[in-house]
Structure 1
Amino acid sequence: MEGLDLLHNFREISVETPVDMIIKQIRELITSGQLKPGDKLPPERKLVERLGVGRTHVRDAIKKLEFYGILRTMPQSGTIVAGLGITALEGLITDVLKIEDNDFGALVETRVILETQAAALAADRRTEEDIQNIEQAFATHQQQVLSGESGVEEDLIFHLKIAEASKNPVLRSLMLIITPDIIASFNKLDICKDGRELRALDEHRAILDHIIHQRPDAAARAMRNHLQDVIDFSKQMS
């Protein structure tokens, strides 16, 4: 067999960034019970010294964990553990699922139901502040993609801002549980290449326009159209 024929058997190596490694350490401390709700993290300067990384890495890690509701920074009080947070359990959930082909299809099906409903509710319930938040998320994702980056995390934040606009916190929490696993599997096989990122921007813009103009049915249809690649991918795996 020729060497090129074997190429598909190799997988891209993902190297963890310092920010990812810091987040993993904090989440492990939370899930193991060593860090409990209300506990205060060491000062930023001490963390930098202990971890042997730059201050920017520590700040970025804390910022991400704050976004997901796991940490909260209080003025003059430092950074505390806000609660277990739904994504603090993400690693455990991944271990439990160990997604097989059929499981993955069910996971994608659930995501489609959640996201189409989130888009419809967002179009019905969104406030001016919600619109600004979604537009900002869209602009950030667009900037990443146009600069040649994949923008995976920014893509996820765009979807989460729509879920927030739905005014259904349970729906948003469920999305936080299942979406990272789907995105990881989807990207592992380079499904998002061949101009997919640019098409996603157009699809995001369509969803946003329907939410702005309060068209629930159209927003749901646009969201389903946006997720069609993921749906097709899940069918290939089954």
Structure 2
Amino acid sequence: MEILESFKTIEIDSPVDKIIRQIRDLIVAGYLRTGDKLPSERKLSEKFGIGRTHIRNAIKKLEFYGILTTHPQSGVVVNGADLGAMEGLITNVMKIERPDFFSLVETRCFMEIFSVQQAAVRRSEEDLENLEKAHLALKEKIDNDLPAENEDFLFHLKIAEASHNSVIKTLMLIVLPDILEIYRKENVCTGDGLKKSLAEHEGILRAIRQKDSDLAARYMEEHLQDVLDFSRKKISV
């Protein structure tokens, strides 16, 4: 048994992790600098010898963490950041254990209820303005019958920012991308469900505006109940 415990688990990188690692290495080495544009998805796909879906998923993940930004006219560019912090962040992105969907959602629920309670107490006028902008951006997408997963999650991230707890925001950034990926695959944020979510956001925003932490927590718990139920169903499938 002692010999067995001396062995280490063999980690096999996914194609997405390999792409992220190479981008990390190029940024840290200085070959990619702030404002530099990445090659197109097609060219990267040909260079790596893998499908464009893997390229797209890696870029989306790095976008979510603020390392890359996609501009409609100019493509994907590198954001400015402290290299040491960026290297550590990208390493964490790759090393995070991939838990089951229910565990991710359950963890998110605990964090979000605490986050919204603190946001209701600690939010500034600037925080409130950012929340209202995020809410309007979601409403605009829904009104135009467009995909709105990013806008939905942005609203929740703005709540985490308004909580003024940096650890909660960091943890949210860890769990949300994988949840978002499953939402996209399962078409969770669509149709009537998205309209219901928008109405619930309005209640949460109103409670934060009124600085009512108990009401904000109750609204958030009700808001997350559907996705919690959905994640339980995923376990039984």
Common fold by TM > 0.5: yes
Q: More deviation in 180-189 or 228-237?
A: 180-189
Match of 2:137 in 1: 140
Distance 1:67 1:190 in 2: 19
How far residue 182 of structure 1 moved from its aligned partner, in angstroms, is 1.5
SS at match of 1:80: coil
Match of 2:37 in 1: 47
Distance 2:227 2:128 in 1: 26
SS at match of 2:80: strand
Matched, 1:196 2:193: yes
User: Which residues in structure 2 correspond to 1:5-24 (within 5 Å)?
Assistant: none
Match of 1:12 in 2: none
Please give the root-mean-square deviation of Cα atoms over the aligned residues, in Å. Answer: 3.3
SS at match of 1:167: coil
How far residue 104 of structure 1 moved from its aligned partner, in angstroms, is 2.1
Q: Say if 2:68 and 2:79, in contact at 8 Å, map to a contact too.
A: yes
How far residue 41 of structure 1 moved from its aligned partner, in angstroms, is 3.6
Q: Say if 1:36 and 1:81, in contact at 8 Å, map to a contact too.
A: no
Matched, 1:131 2:134: no
Unpaired stretches in structure 1, ≥5 consecutive residues: 1-22, 54-61, 73-77
Distance 2:184 2:63 in 1: 25
How far residue 145 of structure 1 moved from its aligned partner, in angstroms, is 1.2
How far residue 216 of structure 1 moved from its aligned partner, in angstroms, is 0.4
Which digits, 9 at most, give the CA deviation of each residue in 1:35-73, with x for residues without a partner? 229x474575x637x5499xxxxxxxx9x968745379x
Alpha-carbon spacing, 1:91–1:114, altered in 2? closer, same or farther (3 Å): same
How far residue 24 of structure 1 moved from its aligned partner, in angstroms, is 8.9
Q: Say if 1:87 and 1:176, in contact at 8 Å, map to a contact too.
A: no
Matched, 1:155 2:152: yes
Distance 1:132 1:24 in 2: 36
Q: What letter corresponds to residue 119 of structure 1 in structure 2?
A: V
Alpha-carbon spacing, 1:104–1:68, altered in 2? closer, same or farther (3 Å): closer
Unpaired stretches in structure 2, ≥5 consecutive residues: 1-15, 43-58, 70-77
Alpha-carbon spacing, 1:35–1:164, altered in 2? closer, same or farther (3 Å): same
Alpha-carbon spacing, 1:203–1:71, altered in 2? closer, same or farther (3 Å): same
Distance 2:148 2:106 in 1: 23
Distance 1:67 1:188 in 2: 17
Q: Say if 1:87 and 1:177, in contact at 8 Å, map to a contact too.
A: no
Q: Say if 2:147 and 2:190, in contact at 8 Å, map to a contact too.
A: no
Match of 2:116 in 1: 119
**How many pairs does the alignment contain?**
193
User: Which residues in structure 2 correspond to 1:219-238 (within 5 Å)?
Assistant: 219-238=216-235
Q: Say if 2:120 and 2:209, in contact at 8 Å, map to a contact too.
A: yes
Which digits, 9 at most, give the CA deviation of each residue in 1:104-132, with x for residues without a partner? 22221110000011110000000000000
How far residue 168 of structure 1 moved from its aligned partner, in angstroms, is 0.2
Q: Say if 2:117 and 2:216, in contact at 8 Å, map to a contact too.
A: yes
1:90 to 93, 96, 99: 93
Q: What letter corresponds to residue 37 of structure 2 in structure 1?
A: L
Q: What letter corresponds to residue 144 of structure 2 in structure 1?
A: S
Q: Say if 1:137 and 1:157, in contact at 8 Å, map to a contact too.
A: yes
Q: What letter corresponds to residue 228 of structure 2 in structure 1?
A: I
How far residue 211 of structure 1 moved from its aligned partner, in angstroms, is 0.3
2:107 to 96, 104, 110: 110
Distance 2:92 2:128 in 1: 30
Overall identity of the aligned pairs, in %:
38
Q: Say if 1:118 and 1:163, in contact at 8 Å, map to a contact too.
A: yes
2:206 to 188, 206, 209: 209
Alpha-carbon spacing, 1:66–1:149, altered in 2? closer, same or farther (3 Å): closer
